[in-house]
Structure 1
Amino acid sequence: MKRLVHAPLQDKDIEAADTEELYKRFAELCVQRGSHEDRFRWIAENENLVCDSCEANNEKCHAPASSGSIPRISCENCHRSQKLLAPCSRVRAERKSRIMRKLDITESMYDSLSERYYQKSKPKTSRWAAANSDPALLFDTGSEHEHRGNHEPDRSSPLSPCVSVVEGGHAELRDKLMANAEADHNIRFSESLESNQRIIERSHEHYCKQMSLFQENIETIEEDIRTGRRSVESAATRIQELAWEVGDFAQKCLNVNRDLRGLAMEDVLGMMTN
């Protein structure tokens, strides 16, 4: 029985496999955000960096305060305006610096991988649209047009007077901006979910501590009644006040949780519609 002999991998095959693995890692990092330590360090090192939007609008680019539990990369102006199609360029700069450091790649390699990532992020067109890229062919249904391909379309089409050739550069720029905005929106969405979840957890901890204090107050009132330090009428009044405080506090906690979960759902809907 003959044994199969596999040809050794050529250098180009190994290089292709390494490149594919590198791109896979690059794509994963594009939708991740850096650790808190990395973000704090980047903010400190780039405190005077002016984003593209502030520079174009001749505005003062305020670096975000780096004392919060979740450090924000975007500047104050971009954060307040919540720009989706043109997010703060500081976010892209931080991501570029982080990915280049983690993958140990040069700037030219990053640009090459980034271009490939944006190309893959483009909206996919249908096979019909790909075969009929000229809008003027939408109304060409006769057999004489079936094999026309990319030749001159029939000028009897009602779209023909309005059809203009779109420069490829404009389309590529638009697609790149949309893909870039989608990646930045995913990062902001992840940050929003984490921030909301932490606030909810802190709210729950505060709720439990406060309820324990209420319980201790009630037990103290009961002890005062038994020892005669407080009258029944005074105890009833104080218990009623505590009941109102408990109800008001519980409602505030409920509102905070509901509002935060509602904001998270709005982000989800925003991702679905954008």
Structure 2
Amino acid sequence: MDGLMPIGAFARLARLTVKAVRHYDAEGLLVPAHVDARSGYRYYRADQVRTATTIALLRGLDVPLAVVREVLDAPDGDAVTTVLSRERARLRHELARREEVLRSLDGLLRRPERVRYAVAVADRAPQGLAGVTGPVRAAALDEDTGALCRRALAATTARGPLVAVFPLDLVDEFPVTAGLPSEAPDVVLPGGPWATTLHVGPYPELPLAYSALLEHVRERGHEAVGPVSETYLTDPSTAAPDELVTRIAVALRE
């Protein structure tokens, strides 16, 4: 087996763990040059270190395995550039999102421990919304809701503040409607008693407002039945995160 090295030596040369090399083999990304039929031991060529290093660098950037496979299978340099440009845009978006989360966390930790929210309970008329409904993942709530809101804005000519409607209890994945007030609605929010409060600040801090809202409802003997609505009173493309104004409301049992 001239020119071949056992998996341990190859892993050291590629600066990977043996476990990682085996994992990439199982994924079809770093297939050994030879597998001993009797022992099952893997052997690699020295020129496979380039592939191993490419995989390690991409995974170090949290690039998904499917995209790593695209890079390795790309037929030419132009195809590689296309894939990497797409990943560069994704990573920049993710970096911006994480910076926003850090700003929110910094602001949250510098504030008084308890933020005061004024909560009002009042009857309101049914409200029709023209928009779109789609699935939202709890693990990607802000991202999926934002995408749904952009679809809603593109799909309707209605005017007014954008509204997103959620179920009261969130599971791993749930339907959300995003739309604008309309007399030709796709969905109608029920009339009756609603509890409402106003949140000023970044969207990741909305749970603070929800906590205050639902605590107020519970303390006064009301029963929240849903749905829940978020009305976005400022444009996140023009307003700073600390200046975003969101009205949140929950329907109550009559």
Query: Per residue, is there more helix in 1 or in 2?
Result: 1
TM-score, normalised via structure 1 length: 0.19
TM-score, normalised via structure 2 length: 0.21
Query: Per residue, is there more strand in 1 or in 2?
Result: 2
